[in-house]
Amino acid sequence: MAQNIYVPPSQGTNRKTLVFSLLGLVLFLGAEALLLRSYIRTDTRPPSWDQSIHMEIALDYREALKDGRLSDAWYLAPKPGMPPFPPAYHLLLTRAYGSSDPAHAALWVNWFYLALLSVSIFGLAWRFRPDETALAAAVLFVASPAVQDLLTTQLVDLPMVALAAAAYWALLASDEFMRWIPALIFGVLHAAGMLHKWSFFSYMFPAYLLALRAFRDKRSAVVMLTAAAVSAGLIVPWYSAHLALLPSRLVQASSDFAISVWTPGAWFVYASQASNAIGPMVWLLGTIGLLAPQHKRNRDQGWVLLAWFATSYIFWTVVPNRQLRFLLPGLVPIAVGFISTWPKPVTWGVAAFQLVTLLNFFGGWVGPVTLSLPFISPQFFVNRPAAKEDWKTEEILRRIEAERDPATPISNVTLVANDEYFNAPTFHWMQRRLGLEHARMRGVNRRLSELSEFVLLKDPKVGPPSVVSGLPEAAAEIRDPRTWFSRAYEEIARWPLPDSNNAILYRQRRGLKKPYDGKFLVYQHYAAGKVVVKDLKANFGPWDPQRSVYTTMSLNVGQLNIRGLILNGTDIDLVNVGFIPIMKKEREDDWVDIRLLRLERLRIKSLDVGADELKAFLSERVKGLSVDELSLDKTVRISGSYNGKPVSAEAGLQLLDAPRRLKIDIKSVRLAGLTVPLSMFKEIKELTIPLYPNPETPFAIELPGLTIAGGRLTIP
């Protein structure tokens, strides 16, 4: 019986094929550069949600390093709700700030990662099939809409794809850690991936298995351990410095858009996304090829490609937040599986189709085209061409700066919108880039726009339904002329937006009527949201009609319950406070709630909280914490359990100046019988409570002193 036997080409033929294939790769990357240049010159849209966050992080690094604040650069404060990001990608993005348009200049950083990805796929494919189809493998994957989308966005995910491909190329070239140079390159690339994003490890499970197998041979064990030491030496410093904050923030971030792994169809979410974003033909034929490859060389290493794909798919399906960009580094093996299995005419035919798809991605001439088939609806010609769209971001911010009250250090702006190019991160990044120091974008909460001088509404569509929870209700309250909002705010400007919506800017009304004519109010019981007051007496000082504020106001409270924390004997003075009462009846002293409009200074003259009250509050408010004992004697000591594990801690409180702030000074922490190093808490920003005006509390807080003694925490 005749057998198919692979006959390797002659060395001269092989070298000639390699040279022409590399020339083809250079031409492909040159074409990508031209397309990217055209995109950058045409597109005028601002960066979107996460893209703006990454651009702002890069700006944080740039400013800290420029000012010589090395400690601030090392312990860079993470963005609200986000984990701290490793620094590698953002340090490269800092170079973009030398341009007048840093958001688009940053895309050239992506092109270099695209080049690394293309070369790495070529190298992987050549290892298994050393012919011209190695070039086709690079084109099949890199020309896909998924990769082109990452090329034109300021995200860390394209570097992750490139570094994963490069790391596996070096790993396989090391012949299971038998060759020194490829193994050491793998160690460096592994560290580079981890210093770009913490999730890089999720694509490396087969590599870790090969590392364990290296112990079977003395030489490979030495090579592997050296490579591991190089990688660890590069990774450990940053991760050890951020370990206290990173795990909790990662769990929080992974829950965004959560879809339980047990939900029917959860395991097919990525299959559907990948089919459309990579291309239905590449996804289908490449996956089949990966499951049944016909590698011409190094067949014994073929399982690594399949394991790389499978472990990545399983890991990111288990993670509730499912976005294809997270899985994409694990889909690179599909390109190699494709060329290793299908005939050359099929390979080059699909590669040519991918090139057409690439041109259409930037041109937007056709599609997307969806085929309605039983059980599946594949989509072709996904595109996102450049667009000349002015979302008025800079114009709006400059108008706010011109209209704000110059007597206030911070002007909060409540943004009632969360759309792709009209969202808080985009506005905040633009405000930072323009050097407008006073405007601060904030989101809508249960009390809508309290302590916000401005409100910015996108009308009528506030954003995609999946990300606008609570915003439609807030928009309806703004539009209703019968609500407190219409009494407190007035429209001062509006702008047409590219999506046929309007941006409407509201400012607090000036010359408001005095909300109450009396000198004092007395309430035996008053509740507003999660705040309950007993025995309240409010004394009103002079009214300033020009600024619509009471110049002074004092509150004497018998007992104050804030989210379960009970405070006794509270005396507070307010300076320059303005508010709108919300009345149940037409009596001016029958208030069911108020909305604070402005407050300049809050002086806490006296306050008293006991150990029992603080113990009950912490047990209720801190998820997973059960406090058995709590003592207040110079420091705060607690003991109990956290998520079933024994925990104890001691902390002090310090009032610091320049700027004025309250610092939680961690003195000891033990968890599950182990002492947690205090260095982990050194630069966690959440352990310092600002008493100076900031976006959360845009007023100064004055504390005359703080005492912890006799089982009570008291002011003064």
Burial of residue 323, with CB atoms counted within 10 A of its CB: 0-12 exposed, 13-18 middle, 19 or more buried: middle
299 and 319 in a common domain? yes
Residue 386 in any domain: the answer is no
237 and 186 in a common domain? yes
* Region 622-628 average pLDDT: 84
Per-residue pLDDT reduced to its tens digit, 51-84? 999 999 999 999 999 999 998 888 888 887 778 8
423 and 372 in a common domain? no
600 and 530 in a common domain? yes
529 and 502 in a common domain? no
453 and 358 in a common domain? no
- Report the alpha-carbon distance of residue 263 to residue 245 in Å, rounded: 30
454 and 434 in a common domain? yes
Residue 467 in any domain: the answer is yes
626 and 555 in a common domain? yes
Residue type, 508: Q
Number of structural domains in the chain = 3
* Residue 175 confidence (pLDDT) above 70: yes
* Residue 224 confidence (pLDDT) above 80: yes
pLDDT class of 255 with cuts at 50, 70, 90: low
- Asked whether the beta carbons of 580 and 595 are under 8 A apart, the reply is yes
Residue 1 in any domain: the answer is no
Mean pLDDT rounded to a whole number for the chain: 89
CATH number of the domain enclosing 420: 3.40.190
584 and 651 in a common domain? yes
- Boundary residue ending a domain (380, 413, 441): 380
- Asked whether the beta carbons of 419 and 463 are under 8 A apart, the reply is yes
Residue 515 in any domain: the answer is no
Residue 80 in any domain: the answer is yes
Distances in Å between the alpha carbon of 380 and those of 351, 375, 431?
14, 17, 38
Q: Note the helical H segments in 292-339.
A: 302-318, 324-327, 333-339
Residue 671 in any domain: the answer is yes
- Boundary residue ending a domain (380, 414, 439): 380
- Boundary residue ending a domain (475, 508, 541): 508
Residue 2 in any domain: the answer is no
Domain with 153 in it: 11-380
Instruction: Give this prediction's pTM.
Output: 0.88
Report the pLDDT value the prediction gives residue 496, as an integer from 0 to 100. 97
Per-residue pLDDT reduced to its tens digit, 400-426? 999 999 888 889 999 999 999 999 999
- Asked whether the beta carbons of 555 and 574 are under 8 A apart, the reply is yes
User: For residue 177, how far is the Cα from the chain centroid?
Assistant: 36
196 and 255 in a common domain? yes
Of 62-66, 115-119, 622-626, which has the strongest mean pLDDT? 115-119
431 and 337 in a common domain? no
592 and 483 in a common domain? no
How many residues would you count in the chain? 716
Q: Taking Cα atoms as reference points, which of 655, 641, 650, 631 lies closest to residue 708?
A: 631
Residue 514 in any domain: the answer is no
pLDDT class of 4 with cuts at 50, 70, 90: very low
